[in-house]
Structure 1
Amino acid sequence: MSAQHTLADGLAQYLAQHSGLPVARAETHISWLLFCGQDAYKLKKPLKLAFLDFSTPALRQHFCEEELRLNQRLAPQIYLDVLAVTGSAAAPALGGSGPVIDHALHMRRFADDALWSTRLAQGQLTADDLTLLGERLAAFHSAAPRATADGDHGQPADIAAATAKVLAPLLTWPHSAAQAQPLQAWLRAEEARLMPWWQRRLADGCVREGHGDLHLGNVVQLPGGPTAFDCIEFDPALRWIDTMNDLAFLTMDLQVRGRRDLAFALLDGYLTLSGDWDGLTGLRYFEVYRALVRAMVAGLRQGQGGAAADEPDYLGWALRHTTPPWAGRGAPLLITHGLSGSGKSTWARALLQAAGAVRLRSDVERKRLFGLGPLDDSRAHGLDIYTAEATQRTFARLEDTARMLLRAGYPVIVDAAFLRRDQRERFSTLARTLGSPWLILHCQAGPEELARRLARRATSVQDPSEATAAVLKQQQGHAQGLGADEVRTAITVGECDATGVAQVLQRWLSPL
């Protein structure tokens, strides 16, 4: 029996004696976990491996403190303290007066079914959960320290090298080589394309001290909503990464399990808050890389006699992901059309999840141009953001961003009123130029319903729109209806429901 095993046994006995409660135990390849009542304690094993060094008490203390520091950024309600372990391995105590022999991370315990990996399997995750987590991750990344352009992390060559290292065993294993070989060619081509982009992302501060291991098993549902936990503490290079690389683990994990709808709800929440549209230029590469990591781990487990039957087909998904159905042409483009309160945003949110699309919201991008957040009230800041000049800038921003996203291979939904014909024409021209399937979503609601929705919106603090009854009246006075030529590329909708969403998708994406 190892000394660390003895220490874990001794601490379990200590906790049981001092609490009068049963102590449950769990083990990972690098840690022991003890669960006692509402508390959990983690001991790091005295290991020195290729990717970590916990071999001395001083190193274990350092990495306990790093784990506490990193995870308190996201989950301070879980990560409480680092406690000295005193006494001896056979008779230890927490925080006693004897000699310090090790350290333990003290955490607040949560229910096993709170893990998102469990909740997804049980069908308990909702789009609202994912949108909220996306917003929280965007705020987390915004506050995280930035890497420097001449520093040790986020260098383009290192990104390509990390992918090559993961791909190497997959190219040699009999069960993976056939799928890994075409992936190798795609990855090399993408790396050549993305090298300047990676360098610019690093210079622009997009490489930050993130989470590093952001998959479904490291997200938990707490009373205050979802949060990530269990950041990588033992290797800075694995967490000092592009923010889109961090997010890609979770978007991949959802998609490979057949929940593209939830992945794009997450992405919608993240992008609405962060505005990091540029990040989608390389998201597909990062998602494929994350799938390769999972495939490699699954292959290693299988080689060691572990079960592989429950593992998703990461390599198959990665291979399909490199070639979207609209490869070689413009991705689909849809714009909404209708008065305030007609249901445009409700429809756009449902469609982005169903189609795996990205949504641009005029209300949000207009505010972003003035340095405001999505939920900031421009009037409270003394700003007039609805001038003709501001509207022109907003639609120019929407057009430029939509063009970039379509070229990156993402279906785009532009959520705006589009009450002027010239505004609609600039996007129909964009669709023709790129060869994109094109649709106008004409949203309608009766006068009473419009008034009711605007009144409800006025009491909400979660809606970016600042439209009022006065704004609606103004819109009704100057709105330019769809012309006969536009009607041919439009579909009229009322209340949003699953049947209607399916009909819109059939009309919008049928050429694909």
Structure 2
Amino acid sequence: LPDEQRLEEKMETLGAADMDRLAETIATFHRNRPAEPPSHGFRSRLQNVLNTIRTVGGMDFEAALHSLLSSNRKTLNTRRFHEVDGHGDLRPDHIYLSDDAVNIIDCVEFSADIRQVDPYEDLAFATMGLRLNHRPDLARHLALSYLHRMCDVRGFLLMDLYEIYRAAVRLMVDALQLKEAGGENRADYLRRRSEAYASLIEDLISGKKSIHNGNRRQLQGLGKATATDGGGSGSPHAIGWKGPLLILLAGLPATGKSRIAALIREEGIPVLSSDVLRKKDDTRPEMRKPEAYGQGSYSSKKKMLNYRKLMCQAGRLFEKESVVCLDASFSRAQYRNLAYRMVSRSRPAMDILILQTDCSEEIIRRRLDKRKTRPGFSDLTDFDTWKKLKENFESVDLTVEGDRFHSASGARLHHLILDTSGEKRTSISPELKQMVPHLFLKRQS
């Protein structure tokens, strides 16, 4: 594999599309790995690393890290049951991107124990590497793109902790190598790199840096944020959006929700999809499985169950995110009411933006025909089934221009309709800023 294809060599030219391809490759790999019997767990592995660092160089962050571990103890214990035989060393210098392929090399072949990881722990090695190469924007996008494909919020919420662990592993390796460094140049290089790892660990522990956009430290600075900093505390995420905000991306199938969702995700906002969640445990989720209206996975009972699961995931996501988008049809008032109740329990007094997509039936028919030969998370390909869905779609009871206070959830509701019949959009924020400017941060002179 040519060196110029290595991720480390491409940092200045990488973009969101590259991270989407990488996320898809990693997610497909993890999705096809069966869960392993629980190991001694992440805490045990981290403690072994800390013990080694203590013997070779010492550290100033151990007490704060143990406090962080204690606050995440319950979640970490449950993640032991999600471990797979992963890669184990998913650094940027082991990832190669060409125009037509993503190649990942050098897994930890010598130790099955080291390879047994929470999938998000595997991913954290890549996001940490992107961050250390001064691309926190790519680290965030890779994590969000992976979350979109896996729909596993609990693992995503541990990403900062997993990055700390991966940085500690590299700090340990450098400390051991520094003891045997052959020359002063090599020793200087290892010292500088060790300082970078230690600094990242301390910043992640303190909350100064985070893969998330909405931790307490960031939210405290939200009122002082500008349209370029996305929430303070060095956060590069969710540029321009004001939280707390729940976006319900609603509308009939094939009306362009997926495209709008991708644009929202490119702006640093996590997107959870009901279609992806429905196929969360499938090894080939993008294989379409058309079913008759109201049958199988699309029966009323199973659809309601899927919406309830979606709201549970969204509620967890608001623990560390200030803006969240849910991509689903929200075809009935009862589904939208689930979202309102979730808001009242998790983050009252937020804004809810119902962003409804729409287009002509002629375009719908063409899009459904294309789906028959293309992979995708949505199973719908039949126009007659689509017409039945349209007949049973319950309209949103808000005016297009207006907004209102929703007493049950404590939220302000806004409803916008986006016509997707024209040219494919390349951005979404400028359009929405014109329609609902109060949902965006104001630039400060």
Q: Fold conserved (TM > 0.5)?
A: yes
Q: Are residues 1:158 and 2:42 paired?
A: no
Residues 54-83 of structure 1: per-residue CA shift (max 9 Å, x gap): xxxxxxxxxxxxxxxxxxxxxxxxxxxxxx
Using structure 1 for the length normalisation, give the TM-score: 0.63
2:172 aligned with 1:283: no
1:483 aligns with 2:405: no
Partner residue of 2:187?
304
Give the match for residue 501 of structure 1.
Answer: 429
How much has 1:395 moved relative to structure 2?
0.9
CA gap 1:191/1:362 in 2 versus in 1, 3 angstroms: same
How many angstroms does 1:259 deviate by?
Answer: 4.3
How big is the shift at 1:415?
0.6
Write the deviation string for residues 451-493 of structure 1: whole angstroms up to 9, x where unpaired: 3333333331245342432233223323222223785223443
CA contact (8 A) 2:153 2:313 kept: yes
Equivalent position amino acid for 2:331 in 1: L
Q: Is the 1:130–1:262 Cα contact (8 Å) retained in structure 2? A: yes
1:102 paired residue number: none
Per-residue deviation, 1:416: 0.7
* Distance change (3 Å), C-alpha of 1:170 and 1:197: farther
Structure 2 match to 1:452: 366
CA offsets, 1:408-460, max 9 Å, x none?
Answer: 54743211111222211221232233224432222233444333333333331
User: CA 1:113/1:324 → structure 2, altered by over 3 Å: closer, same or farther?
Assistant: closer
CA distance in 1, matches of 2:292, 2:26: 26
Task: Say yes or no: does 1:394 pair with 2:282.
Answer: no
Name the CA distance, whole Å, in 1 between partners of 2:272 and 2:4.
35
Q: Output one character per residue of 1:262-299: Cα deviation in whole Å (capped at 9) or x when no partner.
A: 44553455445544333123222112333455567789
Q: Give the CA deviation at 1:217.
A: 0.9
Q: Is the 8 A contact 2:253 2:329 kept in 1?
A: yes
Q: How much has 1:118 moved relative to structure 2?
A: 1.4
Structure 1 pair 372/306, CA: closer, same or farther in 2 (3 Å)? closer
**Secondary structure in 2 aligned to 1:220?**
strand
Tell me how far 1:337 sits from its aligned partner.
1.5
Residue 19 of structure 1 is matched in structure 2 by none
d(CA) in 2 for partners of 1:380, 1:446: 23
After TM superposition, give the deviation of residue 348 of structure 1 in Å: 0.9
Residue in 1 aligned with 2:84? 208
Identity %: 22
Residue among 230, 247, 253 paired with 1:340: 253
| Counterparts of residues 55-454 of structure 1 (less than 5 Å) | 110-121=1-12, 123=13, 125-144=14-33, 147-149=36-38, 153-154=40-41, 156-163=43-50, 181=61, 184=62, 186-202=64-80, 204=81, 206-221=82-97, 225-234=101-110, 237-257=113-133, 259-260=135-136, 262-268=138-144, 270-293=146-169, 304-306=187-189, 308=192, 314=200, 318=204, 319-322=207-210, 326-328=214-216, 332-355=245-268, 357-368=269-280, 373-379=284-290, 384-409=296-321, 411-435=323-347, 436-454=350-368
Instruction: Compare the two structures and name the one with the higher strand fraction.
Output: 1
- Once the two structures are superposed, what CA deviation does each residue of 1:373-403 show, in whole Å capped at 9, x if it has no partner? 4223334899722221222112111112211
Q: Is 1:221–1:227's contact at 8 Å kept on the other side of the alignment?
A: yes
Whether contact under 8 Å (2:274, 2:327) holds in the other structure is yes
Once the two structures are superposed, residues 13-55 of structure 1 have per-residue CA deviations (whole angstroms, 9 ceiling, x without a partner) of xxxxxxxxxxxxxxxxxxxxxxxxxxxxxxxxxxxxxxxxxxx
The structure-2 alpha-carbon separation of the partners of 1:463 and 1:258, relative to structure 1 and needing over 3 Å to count, comes to farther
- The structure-2 alpha-carbon separation of the partners of 1:250 and 1:221, relative to structure 1 and needing over 3 Å to count, comes to same
Distance change >3 Å, CA 416–CA 120, structure 1 → 2: same
Write the letter of the residue equivalent to 1:228: I
User: Any unmatched runs of 5+ in structure 2?
Assistant: 220-242, 404-413
User: In structure 2, how many angstroms separate the alpha carbons of the residues matched to 1:323 and 1:200?
Assistant: 21
Q: Shift of the alpha carbon at 1:113?
A: 1.0
Indicate the residue corresponding to 1:72 in structure 2. none
Whole-angstrom CA distance in 1 between matches of 2:359 and 2:55: 57
Alignment CA distance shift 1:133-1:438 (3 Å): same
Q: Deviations over 1:146-178 (max 9, x none)?
A: 5533x5x53533334435755898875xxxxxx
* Whole-Å separation in 1 of the counterparts to 2:202 and 2:45: 25
2:316 alignment partner, SS class: helix
Deviation at 1:219, TM superposition (A): 0.4
| C-alpha RMSD of the superposition | 3.9
Which structure is richer in relative contact order (CA contacts within 8 A, separation 6 or more)? 2
From the superposition, tell whether residues 333 and 378 of structure 1 become closer, same or farther in structure 2 (CA, over 3 Å): same
| Structure 1 residue ranges without an equivalent (≥5) | 1-109, 173-179
Shift of 1:504: 4.2
**Alpha-carbon contact 2:291-2:379 (below 8 Å) kept:** no
Q: Give the Å deviation of 1:115.
A: 0.8
CA deviation string 1:314-351 (max 9, x = no partner)? 35753423595533479642210222222211111121
Aligned to 1:55: none
- TM-score, with normalisation over the residues of structure 2? 0.72
CA contact (8 A) 1:268 1:358 kept: yes
Closer, same or farther: CA 479–413 of 1 in aligned 2, 3 Å: same
Q: Which amino acid aligns with 2:91?
A: H
SS of corresponding position for 1:493: strand
Task: Please tell me whether the aligned partners of residues 232 and 238 of structure 1 are also in contact (alpha carbons under 8 angstroms).
Answer: yes
Taking structure 1 as reference, are residues 267 and 306 closer, same or farther at Cα in structure 2, changes over 3 Å only? Answer: closer
Partners of 1:165 and 1:464 in 2: CA distance: 49
Q: 1:351 to 1:507 in 2, by over 3 A?
A: farther
* Stretch deviating more after TM superposition (246-255 or 414-423): 246-255
Which structure: larger Rg? Answer: 1
